[in-house]
């Protein structure tokens, strides 16, 4: 627990502040509507459901203000560059942008549920009070006419006993927009589930853009002013503490208490979301402008296991290790943009990506490039954008863990290391790299075999054999492959990869690996970088906490995961 606090204290503090603000806004708004004298008469009809509805609405506005900021990728890349001279702990918070985005979305869902349930009670009580004939204060307030010249006398949006709740819901601005943004929210949240996002990315992509409808609906949701409170002028002539009990005499000429006047609560949602929406619009304009710049495809390579490598050029394109781009192919889909990690190094005169066939879009793209008789399809590129892998050279010791195609960010890093050694870069802070690549099939190792072979040779020539320690793990094999490898184990090179490092069968024993690194580097700061599934992320994160020393002068493991 102590190690976890040491590594995550800033994340915990940020979450505590965010949760604290939610609690404060909810409680403060709840008390305003539950105790405020302005809403005394409104509470006579609605009871505490009024306060529940308004408190959840305030928190909805607050979280809707935050939801777009974590996905403003240009802003995050700018902040990452600005914080490049900061300590790693503040900079690491930028890597949790999608996690925070999801947490804010869950909070929006929670307060949406509270808001809807509270308003269902409100509508039921509005209807019941409008139909009541018992002469109670609630029935009198509900019968106040909508036709008064002042226009401020009514309190109940249900104008007659014959008007149904459904009619009010679908004919009022608040009701209709509420239904629309709730449907949009449900579709966005359900399509963002892990299974749908990975297996049916197109469904997730299109459905998630309903956020435009959500924000438009939210901005105009409160314009109707259905939630009403007593006006300040009316308070002098009909103060609730003085006049509520004598409501039967409001229309008497000799009465000191007059009929109260009411006003709609002004719309406020647009005030909360205006700034982030404008900011996001500028973000999109910048991305559209950059995506229109011409991309030249200079080389296409088809690797085993249906992996396509594209090498490209683009005017003014500048990258760092481990960054990613968004790729669009108009001939397949004009609207869909998919993220891919760059596999090239900043030192190269081109940039490249590796695309594995996963889903309809990637399969269609690979098929288009396989058709040699036709010209290459047009490609549009937006980016690059910063990721956690940019920080790999900030650590004395780095553990790089890639699963399948998740090796791509580390290909960029390893290539950059090769160039740095070639030009004798003495500013390299990193002293040792441990690289783990976990694959299901042998064909995947062919993607970067040449790179690893070049690094092996380079390290030997420079006398830095211990700088790069890599291990390849094959998780899917048959008895023929294992037997063939066992018979040829004594050979100088691995029978599967042709590399000097032998391929391991099965998965890494992470406890052994972390223990060995902790023993070898007892006073180092070790950066653990993963591009792979969430289950592996949980396992590595747990071991980072487990093997980090409570003493800050001794070995510390910092976990970093790629997020798109």
> How far is it, in rounded angstroms, from Cα 30 to Cα 52?
6
> How far is it, in rounded angstroms, from Cα 446 to Cα 498?
10
Q: What is the average pLDDT across 456-479?
A: 74
Q: What is the average pLDDT across 58-68?
A: 95
Winning range, highest mean pLDDT, from 15-29, 152-166, 343-357, 456-470: 15-29
Q: What residues are paired with 351 via a beta bridge?
A: 312
Q: What is the pLDDT of residues 408-434, one digit of tens each?
A: 778 888 888 878 777 766 677 778 888
SS3 category, 230: strand
Q: What is the pLDDT of residues 340-380, one digit of tens each?
A: 888 888 888 889 898 888 778 888 888 888 876 667 888 99
Q: What is the pLDDT of residues 72-118, one digit of tens each?
A: 888 877 777 665 555 566 666 777 788 899 999 999 999 999 999 99
The pLDDT value given to residue 147? 56
Q: What residues are paired with 309 via a beta bridge?
A: 301, 354
The pLDDT value given to residue 23? 97
Asked if residue 412 lies in contact with residue 386, where contact means CB atoms within 8 angstroms, the answer is no
If 0-12 CB within 10 Å is exposed, 13-18 middle and 19+ buried, where does residue 261 land? buried
Q: What percent of the chain has pLDDT over 90?
A: 20
- Residue 50 tokens, joined: 């009024």
Lowest-confidence pick of 12-26, 445-459, 484-498 = 484-498
Q: Can you point out the beta strands (E) in 103-152? A: none
Asked if residue 477 lies in contact with residue 445, where contact means CB atoms within 8 angstroms, the answer is no
256 pLDDT higher than 80: no
In the chain the domains, ranked by start, together with CATH numbers, are 2-281 (no CATH), 295-385 (2.40.30.10), 388-478+491-561 (3.40.50.80)
- Residue 406 tokens, joined: 């998740």
- Residue 385 tokens, joined: 């954008």
Give me the sign of the Cα torsion angle 156, 158, 161, 164: negative
The pLDDT value given to residue 181? 94
Average pLDDT, the chain: 82
- pLDDT band at residue 2, thresholds of 50, 70 and 90? very low
What pTM did the predictor assign? Answer: 0.78
Q: What residues are paired with 434 via a beta bridge?
A: 399, 469
In order of 10, 303, 438, 441, the CA distances from 476 in angstroms are 40, 19, 10, 6
- Residue 202 tokens, joined: 């197109």
Q: What is the average pLDDT across 185-192?
A: 93
> How far is it, in rounded angstroms, from Cα 354 to Cα 298?
14
SS3 category, 94: helix
216 pLDDT higher than 90: yes
**DSSP secondary structure letters along 182-223:** HHHHHHHHHHTSHHHHHH-HHHHHHHHTTHHHHHHHHHHTTT
Eight-class DSSP state of 378: P
> How far is it, in rounded angstroms, from Cα 457 to Cα 446?
17
The 8 Å CB, 24+ separation contacts for 349-352 are: 349/313, 350/298, 350/299, 350/311, 350/312, 350/313, 351/311, 351/312, 351/313, 351/314, 351/317, 351/319, 351/325, 351/384, 352/309, 352/310, 352/311, 352/312
Pick the closest to residue 434 from 521, 493, 354 (CA basis). Answer: 521
- Helix 360-370 to helix 201-208 angle, to the nearest 10 degrees? 110
**DSSP secondary structure letters along 499-555:** SSSPPEES---HHHHHHHHHHH-TT-EEEEEEES-HHHHHHHHHHHHHHS-SSTTS-
Q: What is the pLDDT of residues 504-551, one digit of tens each?
A: 778 888 888 899 988 888 888 888 888 888 888 888 888 888 888 877
Winning range, highest mean pLDDT, from 53-57, 142-146, 264-268, 440-444: 53-57
Pick the closest to residue 350 from 386, 315, 389, 377 (CA basis). Answer: 315
SS3 category, 121: helix
């Amino acid at each position: 627990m102590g190690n976890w606090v040491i590594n995550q204290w800033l994340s915990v503090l940020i979450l505590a502040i965010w949760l604290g603000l939610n609690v404060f806004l909810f409680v403060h708004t709840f008390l305003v509507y539950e105790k405020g004298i302005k809403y005394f008469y409104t509470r006579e009809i609605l009871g505490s459901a009024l306060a529940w509805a308004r408190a959840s609405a305030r928190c909805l506005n607050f979280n809707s203000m935050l939801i777009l900021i974590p996905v403003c990728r240009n802003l995050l890349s700018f902040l990452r560059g600005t914080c490049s001279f900061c300590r790693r702990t503040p900079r690491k918070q930028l890597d949790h942008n999608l996690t925070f985005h999801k947490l804010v979305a869950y909070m929006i869902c929670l307060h949406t549920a509270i808001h809807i349930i509270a308003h269902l009670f409100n509508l039921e009580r509005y209807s019941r009070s409008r139909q009541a004939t018992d002469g109670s204060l609630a029935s009198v307030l509900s019968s106040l006419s909508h036709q008064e010249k002042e226009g401020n006398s009514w309190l109940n949006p249900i104008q007659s006993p014959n008007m149904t709740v459904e009619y009010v819901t679908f004919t009022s601005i608040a009701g209709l927009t509420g239904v629309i943004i709730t449907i949009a929210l449900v579709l966005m949240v359900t399509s963002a589930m892990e299974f749908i996002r990975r297996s049916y990315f197109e469904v997730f992509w299109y459905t998630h853009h309903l956020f435009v409808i959500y924000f438009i609906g939210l901005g105009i949701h409160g314009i109707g002013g259905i939630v009403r409170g007593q006006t300040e002028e009316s308070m002098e002539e009909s103060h609730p503490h003085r006049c509520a009990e004598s409501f039967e005499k409001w229309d008497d000429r000799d009465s000191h208490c007059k009929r109260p006047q009411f006003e709609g609560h002004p719309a406020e949602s647009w005030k909360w979301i205006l700034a982030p929406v404008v900011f996001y619009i500028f973000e999109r304009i910048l991305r559209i402008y950059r995506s229109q710049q011409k991309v030249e495809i200079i080389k296409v390579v088809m690797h085993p296991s249906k992996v396509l490598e594209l090498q490209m050029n683009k005017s003014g394109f500048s990258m760092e290790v481990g960054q990613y781009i968004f790729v669009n192919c108009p001939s397949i889909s004009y609207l869909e943009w998919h993220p891919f990690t760059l596999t090239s190094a900043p030192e190269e005169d081109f940039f490249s990506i590796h695309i594995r066939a996963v889903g309809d879009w990637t399969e269609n793209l690979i098929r288009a490039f396989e058709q040699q008789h036709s010209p290459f399809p047009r490609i549009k590129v937006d980016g690059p954008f910063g990721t956690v892998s940019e920080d790999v050279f900030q650590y004395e010791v780095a553990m790089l863990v890639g699963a399948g195609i998740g090796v791509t960010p580390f290909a960029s890093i390893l290539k950059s290391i090769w160039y740095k050694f070639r030009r004798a870069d003495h500013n390299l802070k990193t002293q040792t790299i441990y690289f783990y690549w976990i694959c299901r099939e042998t064909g995947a190792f062919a993607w970067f075999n040449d790179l690893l072979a070049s690094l092996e040779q380079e390290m030997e020539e420079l006398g830095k054999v211990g700088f790069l320690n890599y291990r390849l793990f094959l998780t899917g094999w048959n008895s023929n492959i294992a037997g063939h490898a066992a018979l040829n184990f004594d050979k100088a090179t691995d029978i599967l990869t042709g590399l000097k490092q032998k391929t391991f069968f099965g998965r890494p024993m992470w406890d052994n690996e972390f223990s060995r690194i902790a023993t070898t580097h007892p006073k180092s700061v070790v950066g653990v970088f993963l591009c792979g599934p969430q289950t592996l992320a949980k396992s590595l994160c747990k071991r980072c906490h487990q093997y980090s020393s409570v003493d800050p002068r001794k070995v510390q493991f910092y976990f970093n995961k790629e997020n798109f």
